[in-house]
Amino acid sequence: MTIPLSEYALEETELELAQLVREFADEVVAPVSYEADRTHTLPLDVVAQMGEMGLFGLPFPEEVGGQGGDYVALCLAIEALARVDQSIAITLEAGVSLGAMPIHRFGTDAQRAEYLPDLLAGRALAGFGLTEPEAGSDAGATRTTGRRDGDEWVINGSKQFITNSGTDITRFVTVTAVTGESGGRKQISTIIVPHGTPGFTVEHGYDKVGWRASDTHPLTFTDVRVPASHLLGEEGRGFANFLHILDEGRIAIAALATGAAEGCLEASVDYARSRTVFAAPLASRQGIQFMLARMQARVHNARLAWLHAARLRDAGKPFKTAAAIAKVTASDAAMDNARDATQIFGGNGFMNEYPVARHYRDSKILEVGEGTTEVQLLVISRALGLGG
């Protein structure tokens, strides 16, 4: 058996939460994951059940409708879901980190009252419109503009790769836009744009390699007008605020990657024990045993990394570098375990009916989304006092 969660110094309530979500993942999510992936469809009935379980409200205070938990709790849930379906896991991660958290952290009382109840209950989703054709890791290259016209913002531009932006329950997208200039540098603000606003177009969804049941769209804004009160946070502080949100998100992505790595390990152990090759179980071959041992070590190291970063975050201590280390460690683990798992499964590992095949396709984006591996290495190297 793989290393049990009880060996990671988790509190009893944390273990209970992890077990609850793992059972939900095995009994509810896993049976529909192949068809959801095949049809590129986010199962909103599963999302609704996640909302009823309180998963979208895990790291938020009870007074705003949350569960009163912390980031460790959220990450345990994400890890448990990612074992069987990364698309469902990223729906939760993005719904919390990129949808609800900016509203909770930077919104006015009126904005929190209007949006948080449905977001934290899983009745609504929201996207965060940051990435553009010319602005990804270099978010300072943002070209989307927000111009003040009386009591309104007028937004023009486009965004790409925006998660949870086009579902039937998507309520709004928070958009980063250039709203001015200071000292020769762009001032970037964040503005809430509700679905259905004239000029706001959710383009056709992508035909993705992985995360195919996750909702992802390009967005277009043509003279989109929203009230001035839809500014989220202080004008000109949108990019700075987003960087803090992104650091938290990297911990959650690391937990997701750990779940993917563990899912590959569990499936491979079961397959190696049941598969007979040359009249002996595949698991009896030392080469396979060593491969599985390395897979276990990767899961262990990845979990330790994200747990450390999450504990720092929850304690109010600096966690930027720890989050970067966690994301690199866990995304590497997911990719390496997915490769080894498909090798162990042989021809079956190339068939989408098997979870390891989907993990193989899904895991690549973990080295790219919410900051590429190269960006994480840059963060880590700067913490060492290297570079500019």
Q: Does domain 240-383 have CATH number 1.20.140.10?
A: yes
Distances from the Cα of 29 to the Cαs of 1, 32, 45, 61, 365, in angstroms? 22, 6, 10, 27, 21
* Per-residue pLDDT tens digits of the chain, which is 388 residues long: 688 899 999 999 999 999 999 999 999 999 999 999 999 999 999 999 999 999 999 999 999 999 999 999 999 999 999 999 999 999 999 999 999 999 999 999 999 999 999 999 999 999 999 999 887 767 678 999 999 999 999 999 999 999 999 999 999 999 999 999 887 788 999 999 999 999 999 999 999 999 999 999 999 999 999 999 999 999 998 888 888 888 999 999 999 999 999 999 999 999 999 998 899 999 999 999 999 999 999 999 999 999 999 999 999 999 999 999 999 999 999 999 999 999 999 999 999 999 999 999 999 999 999 889 999 999 999 999 997 6
How does strand 125-129 pair with strand 145-149?
unpaired
Report how far residue 7's alpha carbon sits from residue 10's, in angstroms, rounded to the nearest whole number: 8
Q: What six digits make up the tokens of 229? A: 């009160």
pTM: 0.96
Report how far residue 50's alpha carbon sits from residue 137's, in angstroms, rounded to the nearest whole number: 31
pLDDT tens-digit map of 330-350: 999 999 999 999 999 999 999
Bridge partners of residue 161, in order along the sequence = none
CATH number, domain 5-123: 1.10.540.10
pLDDT tens-digit map of 58-98: 999 999 999 999 999 999 999 999 999 999 999 999 999 99
Domain residue ranges in the chain: 5-123, 126-237, 240-383
Q: Distance from CA of residue 285 to its chain's centroid? A: 37
Residue 255 CB contacts under 8 Å (≥ 6 apart), including other chains:
74, 75, 76, 78, 79, 82, 306, 310, 330
List the one residue out of 134, 122, 6, 148 whose CA is nearest residue 67: 122
List the one residue out of 133, 116, 228 whose CA is nearest residue 172: 116
Q: Does domain 126-237 have CATH number 2.40.110.10?
A: yes
List the one residue out of 216, 257, 294 whose CA is nearest residue 376: 257
Q: How many CB atoms lie within 10 A of CB 204?
A: 8
- Amino acid letter for position 70: D
**Which amino acids are annotated catalytic?**
370
